[in-house]
Structure 1
């Protein structure tokens, strides 16, 4: 028989559990109706019917419960079908079979993650390390495993420790140390080296150091290095604290013996003996591999006996007086810093802080020195990676030499090794030197210089020679009409080989020059308005300019630009002089000076439509797109567009017609990233497909946009950026923002925003 239905107990015991697991889909009919599945076949039909009705009536009362309203609604939706099956013995029997199978599957899934974690720990450490148990308990609780079931599962696996020399565990330690060495850029020979302790350190010292490093490691951001160090420190606990450290050192001695055996055999083959110098060197190498002096000497002695040669081992070096506690860690940190290993020094200081219970003055002094070295190394790494990306191997090699001497154990952002990259840059420089030496005089040498600079962009000799050579000018500059009323300037390419860039300027009747743009092709569209007397094409290569090439002297009259439904009548009212698009949250604010005569409105132009020239009379404004909702005189607000280019024009209305005023474009482009100052250069990562940017600089505040009137602007092409190795800056440039650009119809369109990654602040 069943006890009387208790609604309060049902809510706490059944509804809360189902809600916590995610709803009815994670439950079964017997739990939902609080029926024992074990007695499904033996319960009388009337008892089951009373329980089903009581639960259904309770659900009705809980329809508006703030926490269980959604769950109860879902349960009521399935009630009719389930209740009918539960009321009949056959249906109840079938549901019981399904429920038992489903519960078995859920239990298996519930224990699967815990069992996998336990199995992996046994594979790594030969058992379950004691300091991993709390983490496993949390994992089990999250999966719904209670304490009794967790304890039973844990009891099935051995605890780590015991002999501590399981071959699988030792193999895991070797592989982990090798991977950590690759990440840090310096080899980590043994667990004692990981702890920065001598191999004969006592068990208590190892325990204290391990606990200090565990505490420090758990404060680092989660990444592969943190996971590796955590596993290795767990192995150190199993092998050096809970286990017998001598067994680990014996296993390490066997590895060292195998590594040194070919060296001993080669020395005996040549000299018929081991010379005293060879013996001393082999003992030092064995100690450097992580062995204590006694085992190092024993390894060399055994190898000499195998080679049947007498050996005289050097006397052990006397050990100086040691210092206990945190003072010894500070001394070790200073020694590591002098050796150019600030990362190791930082670990010693962390251990010193843990041992002292806080930061003592000597620790603070050395910590400041280490922080300064690490900050310099971070800046040096940014410069190195930027130089390598631009193939500036001369600058990269100089920076890498400094890193190797002062921060050898500080890897790059992606785990790069300074020593490996230095070898790569030196190899590139040597190959460039050999190519120059092999190149003869004449025209072939100019191409050889270009090939060298293509491989090593800052090779000093090749750059000096090439910049001393003249650059041939462009020829045959002429202008032809283009679509949409624009002009296209064309010319014949410079006869000089290499990366020649062409800058095009338009000449006005008053003698002024206006920049049209730059290109590496032999044509560029000029979409400007007004009378033009000619065009100038200026060829340059690596900063060396050729003579100007000018088009014919006959004036070039522009072809009228086609605009939708535009009348040539004189404007009845003055056009609005300016229109500015400013982002504001999810909106775009369009600002303009309110006209003194007539009313103004802003229109969003249809895609692909160019704005009419200011002062043009527009008989039908609807041909220029939809109006943007006005907020106040001089302000209209539009939803922020997602299209790459959205153009607006402000119209002044006077009667049925309107006069076109200023226009503005809101441009959305993939942004510049990684902007930073590196010495006398500003550098950034160019978005794919972007060849031009606008750099805005303000001395007092971050630029508000590409058209900030308080900022100075400079357009930079990717070819100029590559040649200069960045954007040269003098002194403190102030606040910098880099805006990506694109071109449409010969016009340069600038992105409306520069995110944080495209901005640099002083200091």
Structure 2
């Protein structure tokens, strides 16, 4: 059983530890949701769901925390995919297995360098020289290994007398720029890296320029990024980029870039000092191969080749074992002084990046073209729009990939990942995932399933077991699924219903003869022939506590979505029917449900029912809401429960899907009645709304064919359903024929344009119209 969630304790125990280790990539789902991985199999779905909701709500409160806001933003980006897996026993089991393996790998990595040093010393000397022990202890401390663990590792090898050379003294650091400014820049780069899922070691890396770039090139790139950043919606990422661009101006444009690189070299020197000491400790010198690797690491940390070589050479010299400086690679050819930047060359580079499947790089080249041109030109706008559309498509594909991988649907995931790797290689997943790496893993899973099927017998029960194993690893393996569906499923047999305590009945049956994970769906048959779902189970009995007359039961066995023929039964005896209580009247349905977006949350407001309790559920994608007033036999089938924040109010995280449906249920006396439903729609917005003569014109979002235009004389329309506004629906064909939306002479007031889409033939309207979709008529 889980203890009650303690926000203060969670901040100190979990957030502080994860932040210190470098963010979510250095953690796991059980740590960030404060769940014990050791007892994951004993936790119930309800208590895990409560803990997940508690942690999510706490994250929302910490979004503006001065220390943890970057970490919380990164955690919230992974919440939907991880929470969906943690809420089910199967998902928790898979995550627990991955978590244990990941923690074992992290522990092994912590000891890897120490173990390698010990093994090399034993190889050289037949044991560990005594004068090397303190150096090894320092190496262990740098890796976070305490003295007890170090002692246990050391006791595995003999310790020899004082017959080996010592280690040397550390060197001195060069002076640099102001420490407070550097610390602020370093923290900003780390937070930006967590948000974007990539490492950003220096301001030059942030600008995507080499450390040897001249100030004019740095200034042009900074100006281009400033233009691009102003076009983003206000959020933490935009604020970070603004701060870092200001630092670029102070340190690299107006200041001396050499001082910044010298200060950065101090950080790199301290990071590499234990590595150099470890190499010298084992080999008594810094070999040329080790020196070359360390120079490359120093350059990857943001240093130019000359400083990187000097740092490694200086560290080696401080140990008393100098090494010849590693020759840095030749510098790139310099740009001729006074040459005017060519914006068309940046546009060409952007198009090349798009062809190479790198839309984010294309967006940066487009921003550089805009800065070089000094104004917008059609080719620049075209490539900007194309890059932005590619990024939006990629982010939508990543959401699809996360859902598919969580369900082990590797065939669907591989198809989407192939497109991502080809069209958006520089757009990482929500947690920084790489499309190529995940694609290789999905292809490996598919190949393993293919190989298992090829090695299985051609027929018989062994073939059936092999098909099930393949689908257990790859849930959408096409050949295995088709072959298993052709085999069919044996039905349940011997269905009977017997009286149970409290006036209930227990339905029992004999299990299906088919192998594999067979589950059973039980339906109650009323005297008028209507059917109601009792429930689903993997066992061979289910209790029915429903009220009213019952004529019999139906049990339908299914395996991996393939149903068997129905199995029918009557009641066990007439006496079981004679004492049936009269069903109570169902509760009254709630008549309205309103979805109101508030920042990053969606508030779902409804009247408080006269009797019973109300709950709001988020409908699964593509599921229509049940008719108002209908009795819902299985509320869980209507999707996840939205956390209630008080009577008549439930609050959900802002949905990422374009269309998300909700329904409010009222529960009373064992019954659940469907009430009103609501839809939250989030579509790409209309832009460029303007009055052109007597026509209202705007730029249509890609794929949008209908919009709703609202005109309100006294104030801006509050939303697409504002009762005080006049509403008109406009199709893109009508818009093209009329050259815009005609505005009668003399019309004054406020106009807002909302994009629309159709779901199941029903028109749904986006709930938002930003400033570029609004206009005031004079």
Query: TM-score when scaled to structure 1?
Result: 0.48
Query: TM-score when scaled to structure 2?
Result: 0.47
Rg larger for: 1
